[in-house]
Chain A
Amino acid sequence: MATRVQALDVADVAARPHRYFRRMYVWQWPIRVFHWINAICVTVLFSTGLYIASPILAPAGEPYTHFVMARVRQIHFIFAFLFVVNFLWRIYWFWMGNNYARSGFPFVWRRQWWRDLFRQVGDYLRLKRGHVHLGHNALGGLSYTIFVIALGWAQIFTGLSLYSETVPSGFWGRLVGWVIPLLGGSFQTRMWHHLFAWGFVFFAILHVYIVFYDGQQYKNGLVTAIVSGEKFYQEGDIDHDTWLS
């Protein structure tokens, strides 16, 4: 049954916040840890990646006194492995975590999911407060699926296959070496790896903005939630997440 929420009485909210805002522990600590490690990894990987693609510092003198490119690559590789482990951890937690840990999954076979998706797009565009979720809304979930999960897989496969080029017959080569011929050779693999990396930048800009915007619009504590794990909701807001389970 459809209900309508009354316009907030701002004065009342200020006077009796507990009446309006309830707290809910949504993001369990593994999710939060994943988020921040991922954020750090992506930042480091992107900036070191840019340098590797087009190194600009040119130290003078004999080469044995410098190790710039090698060091940058080393950092890139270390954070790449951290990224991979963290990523796999998140996937593990998809099953082990609470329902919210699964809330980003694109339930494309459910009409409700699609309805939610379009409504969310409409809400954002029309600057409406709209529908409130405690987990991910369909649009958010979709964008995480594309820009975190799919892109993450793509970077892991292309990245590790490039990493394996040193010893094609070694462990990594056997594991992911097939990616290179699939994409039309090492050079093309590198090109895709580089292009995909920009996907994170694109995503990060939108993500950060939406988080702040959403937090402001919904007054749901979205920004602090990724630190504390807790989100706020108003009375009567909660049940729409039922399509999740």
Chain B
Amino acid sequence: MSKADVKPTTYDVLRELGVDRRSFLKFCTMAAAALGLDASAVGKVVEALEKKPRIPVIWLHGLECTCCSESFIRSSHPIAQDVVLNMISLDYDDTLQAAAGFQVEEIRKRIMKEYPGQYILAVEGNAPTKDGGVYCTVGGQTFLEILRETAEQAKAVVAWGSCASNGCVQAAHPNPTGAKPVHKLIDGKPVINVPGCPPIGEVMTGLLTYILTFDRLPDLDRIGRPKMFYAQRLHDKCFRRAFFDAGQFVENWDDEGARKGWCLYKMGCRGPSTYNSCATFKWNNGVSWPIGSGHGCIGCSEANFWDNGPFYERLSTVPLPGVDSTPDQIGKVAAIGAGAGVAAHFASFLVRRTMSKDKPDESHVSADRD
């Protein structure tokens, strides 16, 4: 983003100084004259000075459930309205857009043309890649194509939610539509992954305002997530951690431990493997969060979280074809197998020894030696 983009425009400043529009136009005429431009250029000067710096955002929707948009409008600081009306120019968003049909598609094409390299592409949902992408089309075009086309001229790509950043539910086994997250479909663009199903509202608005306020992209971790929101596990910030460390666990829903707020680890809590801000900001302006309301974390911001076995078990089954057992089941069978083998071997050894008492001891004859 160039510096000029975030500063208020000249027109804004003049307005703030109490200059009305008529004086403003006069100012433009004079400025044009001073620059040696002829009268026909005045319009351009007006436009240039007036042009608002709000950064254009194209918000695409692919295979998704719109929970990210819903979460976005749940943000309490800043509220979504401030972001949409004062900070960005949300030029394309099928969920909120007033226009419909070709008029919206026209907007998308125009923004791409007028703001090359300047707009932010926000993607909610992901693209099916199977069968040529027919499982999601918009305006008769496949979403896959729209995504690639729109990403081409984007300044940066924001992948909202787990769908866009790691595949989420439609990409869970067996992924019938071949859905793939955004970073696997486009290259050569910075992609900021904001996982979560959905991400916390304040995380979403926080990311956008960070970019606008500090005029840069935030530091990202190894898998493209903003460090400011995804650096730590819930488990390391959880208010039930004291119970975890003490060894006090909820054993079943609504038991004594559950009422005392003990740790949900044995109910399958994914807090120990989930990076998100739930434990810090909590949800819906800090009211509560899943672990706060008695259900373990299901790990919704982690890749493949749908395929990590039942949500209520801490150990998933071993993901090998034809195997449907947990490591413990397999380990026990292997140990018992080893024990049985040993016992059988020892038994035959004993039998052999008893029998060989009557015969010359063959067992001590070594085989051929080289």
Contacts and interface: CB of A to CB of B under 8 A. Distances in A.
Direct contact of A and B (CB under 8 A): yes
Interface of A: 2-8, 53-55, 57-59, 63-70, 72, 112, 119, 123-124, 127-132, 165-169, 177-178, 181, 184-188, 190-192, 194-195, 197-199, 201-202, 205-206, 209, 213, 217, 237, 239-240
Nearest to A203: B338
Contacts of A3: 369
A190 B273 contact: yes
B328 to A, nearest CB: 7
B223 interface: yes
B369 A131 contact: yes
Contacts of B339: 205
B156 to A, nearest CB: 22
14 contacts: A8-B361, A53-B314, A55-B249, A58-B257, A63-B246, A70-B245, A124-B345, A169-B231, A181-B222, A186-B273, A187-B302, A187-B316, A205-B338, A213-B346
Q: Most chain-B Cβ atoms within 10 A of its Cβ — which of A198, A206, A217?
A: A198
B25 interface: no
A2 to B, nearest CB: 4
A48 B367 CA distance: 45
A127 B363 contact: yes
A203 B317 CA distance: 22
Interface string B160-192: 000000000000000000000000000000000
B308 A188 contact: yes
A242 B225 CA distance: 57
Contacts of A127: 348-349, 352, 363
B236 A168 contact: no
Contacts of A239: 369
B1 interface: no
Given A128-B367, A187-B304, 20 more contacts: A55-B249, A63-B243, A70-B244, A119-B367, A127-B349, A167-B232, A168-B221, A169-B221, A185-B308, A187-B316, A188-B316, A190-B315, A191-B326, A191-B327, A195-B330, A197-B331, A198-B330, A202-B338, A206-B341, A213-B346
A58 B265 CA distance: 13
Nearest to B337: A202
A198 B270 CA distance: 23
Q: Most chain-B Cβ atoms within 10 A of its Cβ — which of A57, A72, A168, A213?
A: A168
A201 B273 contact: no
A177 B221 CA distance: 12
Contacts of B319: 184, 188
B370 interface: yes
Q: Most chain-A Cβ atoms within 10 A of its Cβ — which of B248, B302, B314, B332?
A: B248
B315 A194 contact: yes
A190 to B, nearest CB: 7
Contacts of B335: 198, 201-202, 205
Nearest to A191: B316
Interface of B: 221-223, 227, 231-233, 236, 242-249, 251, 257, 265-266, 270, 272-273, 275, 299, 302-305, 308-309, 314-316, 318-319, 326-328, 330-332, 334-335, 337-339, 341-342, 345-346, 348-349, 352, 360-370
Nearest to A55: B247
B227 A169 contact: yes
Given A2-B370, A127-B348, A195-B327, A59 B266 contact: no
A54 B316 contact: no
Contact of A8 (B222, B248, B318, B364): B364
A209 B331 CA distance: 19
Given A195-B330, A198-B331, A67 B246 contact: yes
Given A67-B246, A68-B246, A130 B366 contact: yes
Nearest to A237: B366
Contact of A132 (B249, B349, B366): B366
A177 B361 CA distance: 57
B365 A4 contact: yes
Nearest to B257: A58
Contact of B247 (A59, A185, A201): A59
B366 A217 contact: no
Contacts of B236: 166
Given A58-B248, A130-B366, A131-B366, A185 B242 contact: no
B366 A185 contact: no
A69 B246 contact: yes
Contact of A58 (B247, B348, B366): B247
A213 B345 contact: yes
A66 B341 CA distance: 43
Contacts of A55: 247, 249, 265-266
B258 to A, nearest CB: 13
B304 A184 contact: yes
Nearest to B242: A63
B233 A165 contact: yes
A3 B341 CA distance: 33
Contacts of B341: 206
Contacts of B328: 53, 194, 198
A128 B363 contact: yes
Contacts of A177: 222
A240 B348 CA distance: 28
Q: Most chain-A Cβ atoms within 10 A of its Cβ — which of B309, B331, B348?
A: B331
Contacts of B346: 209, 213
In the A-B complex, the 7 residue pairs with the closest CB atoms: A198-B331, A68-B247, A186-B273, A195-B327, A70-B245, A66-B246, A63-B246
Contacts of B304: 184-185, 187-188
Nearest to A64: B242
